[in-house]
Structure 1
Amino acid sequence: MQHAQYPDALCPGDHLVSPRPGYSHHGIYIGNNTVIHYSGLHRNAVSGSVCEISVDEFHAGFGFRVQNNKGRYQGQEAVKRARSRLGEDKYHLLFNNCEHFVHWVLHGKARSQQVNNALIGLTTVVLTGVGRWALKKYRGSERV
């Protein structure tokens, strides 16, 4: 995690990740100690908009790191893409969250590995439960 002297080490277009209980928050550093992000869950809300905030507001005491995933769009081009969505208020936890936004800014395609991992985990739990139920049902029918 980075804390002190981070503005000197950050470059416009950097992908910032701040760990939170149960998820990670994502934003794009645009220079001058400022981040553009999809606010959403950032302040325990279920909706939000794309906005500019300070780096300190972004990490909210949880710290942050720079995600090294150089995309198709970097530097000022990434900043321009992030700014193009300022004010957008179409946040959706599963389909348009802060990670989707950052991935779109850098790679041109919205995606969220956190959502993918959660859906895989949920599918595994459901399929395990269905499998156990079916096995119990099958074993019960053998006794008849």
Structure 2
Amino acid sequence: MVLKYKATRITSLGSLKPGDHIRVCRMVYNHHMMVIKVINNGLLLRVIHYTESEYRQASVGAATSAALPSSFSLSNGTDIAKVKEENIFVDPQEDRVELLEYDDPEVAIHRGQNAIRRARSRIGENKFDFVLTNCESLINWAITGREETGQGQVAIVAGAAAAAAAAAAVGVVGLVAVATIGIPGLVLSGLTFAVGVGYNMKKKKDDDENNKKN
């Protein structure tokens, strides 16, 4: 059975408890985290999550790194994203923050400090994989023992379609250049597919032009 959530919007960080599974919802992605504690009177959260590594921040720049959350990074076990415990600023008045509870509460076999210990056991891990091992699957594993994620499969289909459209509009060279400086995760997730589609489209166009000349 696939894990399903009941999502409750959080308007005050003070209502969160250690071991809670939360996500911050953006326009094109959701970022999942485990709450360790609320600090600074609810202005900061200490969390464990799969996030951009120092290597990625140094290689592409802080602004670009922020635009490419771990949920939509492309990695194959490289040091692009890693599991970290850190303090982060979250404003529930500006960001949509949701507490996630499971439709079947019996699947949450690890709770509170036990779930936190499990998540901490993977700190430093850099085996991020967009489809199978991402920020969502990490927290699900810590709480349920099941490393499941649904957002990778959904987004990779949407991303492929978005990236194919981008490839048609700007061409393969342009798309690769945009990807280098950072674009929304949906397009990145379909980059490989789009490059193939864009290449074939460009080749067909060139062949048609050559045929007309001949």
Q: TM-score normalised to the size of structure 1?
A: 0.70
- AA aligned opposite 2:109: R
Gaps of 5+ in 1: 123-144
What SS does the corresponding residue of 1:49 show, helix, strand or coil? Answer: strand
Name the structure 2 match of 1:2.
Answer: 10
Deviation at 1:44, TM superposition (A): 3.4
- AA aligned opposite 2:127: K
What SS does the corresponding residue of 1:64 show, helix, strand or coil? Answer: strand
Please list the CA deviations of residues 74-111 of structure 1 after superposition, one character each: whole Å capped at 9, or x if unmatched.
Answer: 11110000111111111121121101111111111111
| Identical aligned residues as a percent | 29
Q: Are the structure 2 counterparts of residues 55 and 65 from structure 1 closer, same or farther at C-alpha, using a change threshold of 3 Å?
A: farther
Gaps of 5+ in 2: 1-8, 39-44, 53-64, 74-79, 160-214
Deviation at 1:53, TM superposition (A): 2.4
- The answer to whether the 8 A contact 2:26-2:96 is kept is no
Q: TM-score normalised to the size of structure 2?
A: 0.49
TM alignment of 1:50-89, pairs within 5 A: 50-56=83-89, 62-69=95-102, 70=105, 71-89=108-126
**Aligned pair count?**
121
Judging by fraction of residues, say which structure has more helix: 2
Name the structure 1 match of 2:49.
Answer: 37
- AA aligned opposite 1:15: H
Please list the CA deviations of residues 48-73 of structure 1 after superposition, one character each: whole Å capped at 9, or x if unmatched.
Answer: 111122242598x5231110124111
Among candidates 63, 81, 92, match of residue 48 of structure 1 = 81
Q: Whole-Å Cα distance in 1 between the matches of residues 91 and 49 of structure 2?
A: 8
- The answer to whether the 8 A contact 1:48-1:91 is kept is yes
- The answer to whether the 8 A contact 1:30-1:79 is kept is yes
